[in-house]
Amino acid sequence: MLNPPDVKRVLEAALLAAQEPLGATELKRLFEGELGVDAIRRLLAELADEWKGRAVELVSLSSGWRFQTRPELQPYLERLFPERAPRYSRAVMETLAIIAYRQPVTRGDIEDVRGVGVSTQIIQALETRGWIDVVGHRETPGRPALYATTTKFLDDLGLRSLEELPPLEEIARTLQLEVVPTAEAEAAVTDTPEQAKTGTDG
């Protein structure tokens, strides 16, 4: 029987060597039934604590645990690997948000919210990334596909479940424009037209 520090070393090695996140059930196989899932979970939490403050952290995700670099180090790492991942366009991110927060939804539902057509390329980009998939069809004329987000989506965004998505903001009746505090921007904003009701923005 292994003692807890040894168990942690085995877990650590398995997680470091794994290509994909590993769940407690999979990790249990390392010990051929000698340890229960609860004990493994507890030791994983301890292990995550021990890695705090290092360049690499152990995080718990939807499909299991994964070691990853800390986000604040990314600007440095990018210099070493110049081919940085591109950002998705606003159209792609808005489509993703609607699928994530309102799933399952059809393409028509997405178009209703955005007020514009959703191109096939946008859906494909998200499908290819493995972030969304078709979970069924709505029984209306044309039987449109219903889209939902996947486990990989949660894993890739560092989330354990959809409940961990950033909460939807309550929208203010009126809103101050978020203005970049530069002389240029201020010049543009103070140039307020006649309809402005409440003084200056920003």
Partner 1 sequence: MMAKLYGEPVFELPHDLYIPPDALEIVLEAFEGPLDLLLYLIRKENLDILDIPMAPLTRQYLEYVEAMRKTNLELAAEYLVMAAMLMEIKSRLLLPRPPAAEVVEEDPRAELVRRLLEYERMKKAAQGLDELPQVGRDVIAISVWIEKTVSQRLPEVNSGDLAEAWRTLLHRARLSAHHRVSREELSVRAHMSSILRALKERRVVEFTELFEPQRGVSVLVVTFLALLELARELLVEITQSAGFGPIYVKLGHAQSA
Among 32, 139, 163, 191, binds partner 1 (CB under 8 A): 191
Torsion of CA 15, 20, 23, 27, to 10 degrees: -40
Residue with smaller CB distance to partner 1, 37 or 93: 93
Among 27, 35, 43, 96, binds partner 1 (CB under 8 A): 96
Among 2, 45, 56, 135, binds partner 1 (CB under 8 A): 56
Is 116 a binding residue for partner 1 by CB under 8 A? The answer is: yes
Is 88 a binding residue for partner 1 by CB under 8 A? The answer is: yes
Is 107 a binding residue for partner 1 by CB under 8 A? The answer is: no
Q: Tell me, residue by residue from 4 to 43, as one string, x for binding to partner 1 by CB under 8 A and - for no binding.
A: ------------xxxx------------------------
Within residues 142-171, the interface with partner 1 by CB under 8 A covers: 155-159, 165-166, 168-169, 171
3-state secondary structure 180-200: CCCHHHHHHHHCCCCCCCCCC
- The site that binds partner 1 (CB under 8 A) totals a number of residues, namely 64
Minimum Å distance from CB 190 to partner 1? Answer: 10
Is 2 a binding residue for partner 1 by CB under 8 A? The answer is: no
Residue with smaller CB distance to partner 1, 131 or 146: 131
Is 176 a binding residue for partner 1 by CB under 8 A? The answer is: yes
Evaluate whether 164 touches 157 at the Cβ level (below 8 Å).
Answer: no
Name residue, tokens 């069924």: 136
Binding site for partner 1 (CB under 8 A): 16-19, 56, 66-71, 74, 77, 84-85, 87-88, 90-91, 93-94, 96-98, 100-102, 112-117, 155-159, 165-166, 168-169, 171-180, 184-185, 187-189, 191, 193, 195-198, 201
